[in-house]
Amino acid sequence: MSANPSDPSDIIALPLSPGGGAFFFSNALPFAKVGFMKFLRQFAARIVGQSIRIFARAITAVRADWKGIEPVPRQRVYFANHTSNADMPMIWSVLPPSMRRTVRPVAAADYWLKNKLRAFVGPEVFNCVLVDRRPEVKDKPMDKIIAALDEGSSLIIFPEGNRNMTDDPLLPFKAGLYNMGVARPEVDLVPTWVANLTEIMPKGEIIPLPLICTVTFGEPIHVRDGESKDDFLKRASDALLDQRPEIRT
């Protein structure tokens, strides 16, 4: 764990009821039935995942621009700009299958456990690492994130902490990205820019506009020896801004 014990408010987003996930399967069920139910749920999760991917492709023709990295399975933390709830599914959709299976978006538990459908889609379709940043909760978000990294998963995180509703291209980053980089320095931190989603689905609009969405992956960065938190976060933010596609208007 990092030298800087993560301040809960510093990381991404929110709550998991203790032991979340297990409540889907009652212990009273005989084992075989549990196994079958689990298989069915996994099957359903795959179908839903494919449908989301096909839908994203049909509407936005979403594609990846591998500017700084190759699409190869390697442990990475993709840190992305966050303007819409569709950001994460877009990044997830453009990853090739082998990478999609090992990537886990870090997401707010309060959002993804709000109802049964989301509780299925978030943890089971996207295999989210659900984090709860309420101060009173015992399992700290950074512990869960590090645990996921130690299992070998790649992560998708949104270091701005919240959806960016301002006219600025990025909000100031929270410390979470720095803490991850310090705790697991060997993991590549990949700046990932999701373009056009603000136009596709501006806040308060109901119908998405079918414009082309591009996800650009830049060159990985790492925390340098002796680099301060603020310096690193500034560098990470600049690296992310560099991935914006150039379109003059």
Residues engaged in binding another protein (CB under 8 A): 61, 63, 196, 199, 202, 205, 207, 209-212, 246-249
Residue whose CB is less far from another protein, 58 or 147: 58
CB of 210 to another protein, least distance (A): 5
Give 75 or 198: the residue with its C-beta nearer to another protein: 198
Query: Minimum CB separation from another protein for residue 199, in Å?
Result: 6
* Residues 106 and 145 sit within 8 Å (Cβ to Cβ): yes
Nearer to another protein by Cβ, of 77 and 215: the residue is 215
Backbone angles phi, psi at 72, to 5 degrees: -120, 150
Distance between CA atoms of 52 and 241, rounded to whole angstroms? 27
The least distance separating another protein from the CB of residue 59, rounded to whole angstroms, comes to: 9
Taking the mean position of all CA atoms in its chain, how far away is CA 35? Answer: 29
Q: How far is the CB of 65 from another protein (least distance, A)?
A: 9
Which is closer to another protein, CB of 138 or CB of 248? 248
Nearer to another protein, 32 or 247 (CB): 247
**Residue placing its CB nearer to another protein in the complex, 147 or 212:** 212
Q: In what order do the strands lie in the sheet with 76-80?
A: 63-66, 214-217, 188-195, 76-80, 154-157, 103-108, 129-131
List CB contacts of 209: < 8 A, sequence separation 6 or more: 199, 200, 201
| Shortest separation between residue 205's beta carbon and another protein, angstroms | 5
Residue type, 153: S
Q: How far apart are CA 136 and CA 206, in angstroms?
A: 36
Q: Which of 122, 98, 92 is nearest to 108 (CA)?
A: 122
Closest approach of another protein to the CB of residue 40, in Å: 35
What DSSP string describes 61-72? --EEEESSS-S-
